[in-house]
Each structure stands twice: as C-alpha cells, then as structure tokens.
Amino acid sequence: MKFTCELKKLGEVVNGVSLAVASAAAKTPLPVLEGILLCCKGNELTLSAYNMELGIRNTLPVAGEENGSLVVDARKFSDFLRKASGDILTFQSDEKMVTYLECGSTHLAIDSMSPEEYPLLPEIESVERFKLPQGTLKNMIGQTIYAVSVSEAMPVITGSLFDIGDGMLKMVSVDGYQLAMRKEPVETKEAFQFVVPGKTLSEISKLLKDDNDEEVEVIVGKNHVQFMISGYVVISRLLEGKFLDYKASISGETVTRVKVSKRLFSQSIDRASIVINERVKSHIRCDFKADEISLFCVTSIGKISDVIPAEVIGPNLTIGFSNRYMYNALRAADTDEVVLEMRDAVSPIRILPPEGESFLFLVLPIRIKE
C-alpha cells in the first residue's frame, strides 16, 4: 500500500474519523478498534473508525501508487500528522505490516494491524429519511444535550428522542429533573420516532459547523441511524425502549407568567449560588411578585439575597429550584429574554422564548419548608 497526499487535508479527516475510535481506557476486547482502517484504491483513500456503537467513514483523494488496506494506531497516526514538519505525506507499508510515514524531515516507522480483524460498519436499510441544515442540527443538539441522563438505570433516556410528525422535528432530552425540547420544521410525510445516544450526538456536533447551511441527510434504519455530514458517513446504533411521555410533562395550566432578561436572571442565580458548593448544597428560593424577582439562599456557609426587575403577570408565587438546573436551561436559551410559566410551587417550571415556540425547557422545583 502506497500513496501521497496533502498532510493538512489528511489530518483534518483523521481528526473527524477519530471521534469513533475506541478509547484505550475503555479496555475494549478488540485492540484493533483503537486504530483507523485505511483502504487505498486507485486515487481514493477511505478512512474508517468504529467502536461498536459509533462508526465514522470518509474518503479523501490521494495520489495512489499501490492499493491495499491496513489498520494504524489512531493516536500515533494523529500525533504524527499534527507534528510532522512538511506539507506532503508519503505513506507506505510492506509485507510485514510495517508502515513508513515521511513528511518533510520527519520519518516514522510503526507496526500496523491486519484489516481482517477490523469489524465492518453496519449497513443501513433505510426506513425513513429527512434533511436539515448543519447549523440547525448543531443548534438543536447544543440546546438539548445538557438534559440527557447520565444514569444507566433507564438506558433509553441516555439519548435524545427525535419525534417527527406533521412536518416538525422535536428533539427531546430528559433526565427526570430537567427536560429540554427544540422544534424545527422538516420535510417528511410520515410520523416516526427514534432515540440517538447522547454520546453519538456529542461527537456529531463536533463535525457540524454553526455557519454552514449545507444539509445533513439523516437516514433511519431499524436498529441504526446514519448522518451524512460534509463527506462524513456517521453510523450509530439506536437506543431501544419506550421513551418517557414528555408530552404529559410539558402540558398544564399556567397561573403565573414572568418575562425576564436572561442575562440578569443568570447573573442573579450566580450571585445567589455564592453560598453553595460541591460539599454544601441547597436550593434557591425565588419569590415572583409585582415587577421583580427576589432570590434567596441560606446554607451553613452563609445567606444571600438579590432582587432583579421582571414583568410578572398573575398571582405572587414562591418556588424553589436547583441553581444548576435553572442555569442549564437559561444557558441553552438563545434569546435575550425568557418567559417562565408556573402553575404552583410543586409543578415544573416552563422556560420558553418570548415569541414562538422554538424551545421549551422544564426545571423540576424543590419543595420549600415554610
């Protein structure tokens, strides 16, 4: 196997594909999964990585001299591409599976592995498909992934639900204490649902560009989903099980409605959290009345209070919440102001945009002892 190519372009593809390389810390039973599969055919080099849950593949034009395939250690290969001194890379391997890399004045010889040991990426038999812009998908992931559960007690909520129907995609994450939902229109005739692991979405987000309107094609199969992103083919397993009934959680009567500056509310929560740390935890008490919000927190460290202006419609209400969960929701909001809708002191707090319904975040309140 032998080819030459631009170092920078190969490095970019290797960085993207490496998102699916198995971590050495994971102690995989297949050491070959810690490598990247390279297949050179003609003037095309295909790179693949697969950790048995997530797989990524991309193809790069090269000046091919000898066809072949092998598996190289991902960390060593990536390190060489990042640190080599030249611009053009020459890649060559011999019959003993030794790989020689040459770039400028930098040379490296490393052992490679047989491609026969590398598992094939799953083939997707399309059931449904749709498209949406890169920037939109990245935004949707960024605004919902914080609420994905990290507990394996209920595996299905360690991912985000893609709920599609009536020309709308709803991406929903929930962990039992908070919920995040983003909505965007999509062109699809059928109604269907699937759950993508949070780890997959986190890695996919790294391949997406905020300012890129190029569309991502999403192909949904029975057990896997495939994302086509700027030349990358990303394949992930889907999570099985019944997702939580989020529609029941987000419905309900609103009694008190508050419009407030996201920046002022976030800063006030930050100030009220001065007496909270990893060892000393407590809720924040929040009083909504007339044209202001009063925040109060007391712990063994001390007590603090703060007041900010707000537009409050409805009866006065006192409610308690976790500073971290409320701060998560405010940080995910992409508007200057947010609207809080509440029914009583024990029902979830709804956080919405002032206009429209592009996002909805829920924060579960904490009972306050009078």
Residue 370 confidence (pLDDT): 62
Among 209, 125, 142, CA closest to 359: 142
Q: Is the alpha carbon torsion for 23, 28, 33, 35 positive or negative?
A: positive
CB 297 within 8 A of CB 275: yes
> In tens digits, what is the pLDDT along the chain, a chain of 370 residues?
999 999 999 999 999 999 999 987 667 778 899 999 999 999 999 999 999 999 999 999 999 999 999 999 999 999 999 999 999 999 999 999 999 999 999 999 999 999 998 999 999 988 899 999 999 999 999 999 999 999 999 999 999 999 999 999 999 999 989 999 999 999 988 899 999 999 999 999 999 998 888 999 999 999 999 999 999 999 999 999 999 999 988 888 899 999 999 999 999 999 999 999 888 888 999 999 989 999 999 999 999 999 999 999 999 999 999 999 999 999 999 999 999 999 999 999 999 999 999 999 999 999 887 6
Q: What is the gyration radius of the CA atoms in the chain, in angstroms? A: 25
Backbone phi, psi, residue 341, to 5°: -115, 130
Residue 72 confidence (pLDDT): 97
CB 275 within 8 A of CB 304: yes
Bridge pairing between strands 256-261 and 337-342: antiparallel
Terminal alpha carbon distance of the chain: 75
Residue 189 confidence (pLDDT): 84
The reply to whether 252-363 shares the fold of 2-117 is yes
Residue 6 confidence (pLDDT): 97
Among 180, 184, 190, 101, CA closest to 137: 184
Residue 88 confidence (pLDDT): 97
Residue 216 confidence (pLDDT): 97
Q: Is 282 helix (H, G, I), strand (E, B) or coil?
A: coil
Residue 55 confidence (pLDDT): 97
Please report where in the chains the tokens 């003037």 appear, as a residue. 43
Among 264, 329, 332, 250, CA closest to 295: 264
Exposure string (b/e) for 343-369, b if CB count within 10 Å is 16 or more? beeebbbbbbbeeeebbbbbbbbbeee
For the chain, the structural domain boundaries read 2-117, 128-247, 252-363
Superfamily of domain 128-247: DNA Polymerase III, subunit A, domain 2 (3.10.150.10)
Residue 301 confidence (pLDDT): 92
CATH 1.25.40.10 describes domain 252-363: no
Residue 213 confidence (pLDDT): 82
Tell the CATH topology of 2-117.
DNA Polymerase III; Chain A, domain 2 (3.10.150)
Q: Is 222 exposed, middle or buried (0-12, 13-18, 19+ CB in 10 A)?
A: exposed
Helix axes 262-272, 323-332, angle to 10 degrees: 160
Among 142, 164, 174, CA closest to 218: 164
CB neighbours (10 Å) of residue 281? 11
